[in-house]
Amino acid sequence: MNKTVNQKAWFFVIPVFVLVAFNAIIPLMTVVNYAFQETFGNNVFMWEGTRWFKQIMLSERFHASLGRQFLFTFIILFIQIPLGIAIALTMPKEGIGVPVCLVLMSMPLLIPWNVVGAMWNIFALPDIGFLGHSLNALGFDYNFTQQIGDAWFTTILMDVWHWTSLVVLLSYAGLRSIQPAYYQAAEIDGASRWAIFTKIELPKMKKVLTIAILLRFMDSFMIYTEPFVLTGGGPGNATAFLSIDLVKMALGQFDLGPAAAMSLIYFFIVLLVCWVFYTLMMRNEEKS
């Protein structure tokens, strides 16, 4: 669309700007403040320079939680994106099945995150939870509060349960926007089902999939409440992802300086990954 240059448009943006700046800039300044200084309360600050940053960057604890975070995000993206596409492909395209599927599939998205954690806690309890009880009845030695593998399995399964529907909804919307003529032409050209998927459906879903991957990356990278309620980061620190570790450090141990430095590094990583991903996608777009 041809846009006209109009500086007065700024007036329209002011409310948004003020509201977001109010929430973003002032607290961010506080974080920056803490990150470079040492405080003993009473608003007494001592300049520390980059000491906290060095400390965090070199700390094994940070490396470990960052590693866990990337592993977790990678696994859930690897499961949720293909699974979401597969489900969207098999969903009904018309009739009563459409609203039924959409309503039921959206359910997990609208449950408060700590309820999700609590629900899965109850569901996975080895003695009285359906999942835990069934697994044990089948002969698996399953206990997510004790065994690291089980804790990871449960956390990932919970996240798949919670968020795959978002990928399904986005993919489904992308599929619905494909003109029927494309399928008809492919049928006449003798394309196989696989060719239809790779040559028509995937390219047409590219935009929605970019959004799905970005959203899932951002949200899984910030995950806090659900694993906190489910496992509390345990057993040990096995499921202490970045946010859990950060809150532990800031509120639990009140190490405000390192926590603030870690916040900034954390935020920076999210921005960097999103930016790289976004730029790559855009460059691809321009080529075509």
Partner 1 sequence: MAKVTLKGLSHSYLKTQSSDADWAIREVDIDWNDGGAYALLGPSGCGKTTLLNIISGLITPTKGDILFDDKIISGLSPVERNIAQIFQFPVIYDTMKVYDNLAFPLRNRKIPEEEIKVKVHEIAEMLELSSTLNNRASGLTADGKQKISLGRGLVRSDVNAIMFDEPLTVIDPHLKWILRSKLKELHQKINRTMIYVTHDQTEALTFADQVVVMHEGQIVQTGTPVDLFEKPKHTFVGYFIGSPGMNVLPCQIKGNDVIVNGKKVETHQQIKKNNFNKTEVGVRPEFISFSNEGIPVKVLSVSNTGRHKIVDTESESGKIKIIAKSNEDIPSGSAFLKFKKEYTYTYGDSWIIE
Partner 2 sequence: MKQAKWVVPTIYIIFLMLPIYWLLNMSFKTTTEIINTYTLWPQEFTLDNYKKIFNDSTWYTGYLNSIYYVVMNTVISVAAALPAAYAFSRYKFLGDKHLFFWLLTNRMAPPAVFALPFFQFYSSVNLFDTHVAVALSHCLFNIPLAVWILEGFMSSVPKELDETAYVDGYSFWRFFFKIFIPTITAGIGITMFFCFMFSWVELLLAKTLTAVAAKPIAATMTRTASTSGYELGLLAAAGSLTIIPGAIVIYFVRNYIAKGFALGRV
Member of 119, 135, 240, 261 binding partner 2 (CB under 8 A): 119
176 with 93: CB under 8 angstroms? Answer: yes
The yes or no reply on residue 20 touching partner 2 (CB under 8 A) is yes
Alpha-carbon distance 174 to 131, whole Å?
Answer: 34
Does 127 participate in binding partner 2 (rule CB under 8 A)?
A: yes
From the list 170, 200, 230, 261, which residue makes contact with partner 2 (rule: CB under 8 A)?
Answer: 170
The entry of partner 1, partner 2, none near residue 105 (CB within 5 to 8 angstroms by kind) is partner 2
Contact indicator for 168, 88 with CB cutoff of 8 Å: yes
Burial grade of 279 (CB within 10 A; 0-12, 13-18, 19 or more): exposed
Contact partner, 152, from partner 1, partner 2, none, Cβ < 5-8 Å per class: none
3-state secondary structure of 141: coil
Q: Are 277 and 213 in contact (CB under 8 A)?
A: yes
Query: Rule CB under 8 A: is residue 58 a binding residue for partner 2?
Result: no
Q: Which of 188, 218, 187 is nearest to 76 (CA)?
A: 218
Q: How far apart are CA 142 and CA 123, in angstroms?
A: 13
Q: Does 102 bind partner 2 (CB under 8 A)?
A: yes
Quick check: 207 binds partner 1 (CB under 8 A)?
A: no
Q: Which of the residues 185 through 204 are near partner 1 (CB under 8 A)?
A: 185, 187-192, 195, 199-200, 203-204
> Should residue 288 be labelled a site residue for partner 1 when binding is judged by CB under 8 A?
yes
- By CB under 8 A, tell whether 97 contacts partner 1: no
128 binds, among partner 2, partner 1, none (CB under 5 to 8 A by kind): partner 2
Q: By CB under 8 A, name the one of 31, 148, 213, 238 that touches partner 2.
A: 31
Cis amide bond preceding 235, omega within 30: yes
95's contact among partner 2, partner 1, none, with CB below 5 to 8 A by partner kind, is none
Q: Is residue 112 at the binding interface for partner 2, with CB under 8 A as the rule?
A: yes
- ∠ CA 198-203-204, nearest 5°, is 120
Residue 48: φ, ψ to 5°: -120, -5
Measured between its terminal Cα atoms, the distance across the chain in Å is: 19
The binder of 184, among partner 1, partner 2, none, by C-beta within 5 to 8 A per type, is partner 1
Number of residues binding to partner 1, judged by CB under 8 A: 18
Tell me whether residue 8 or residue 193 sits nearer to partner 1 (CB atom): 193
Do residues 106 and 172 make contact, with C-beta atoms less than 8 angstroms apart?
no
Q: Nearest to residue 215, comparing CAs of 47, 81, 67?
A: 81
Q: Does position 82 bind partner 2 by CB under 8 A?
A: no
182 is an interface residue for partner 1 by CB under 8 A: yes
Positions that interact with partner 1 (CB under 8 A): 179, 181-182, 184-185, 187-192, 195, 199-200, 203-204, 287-288
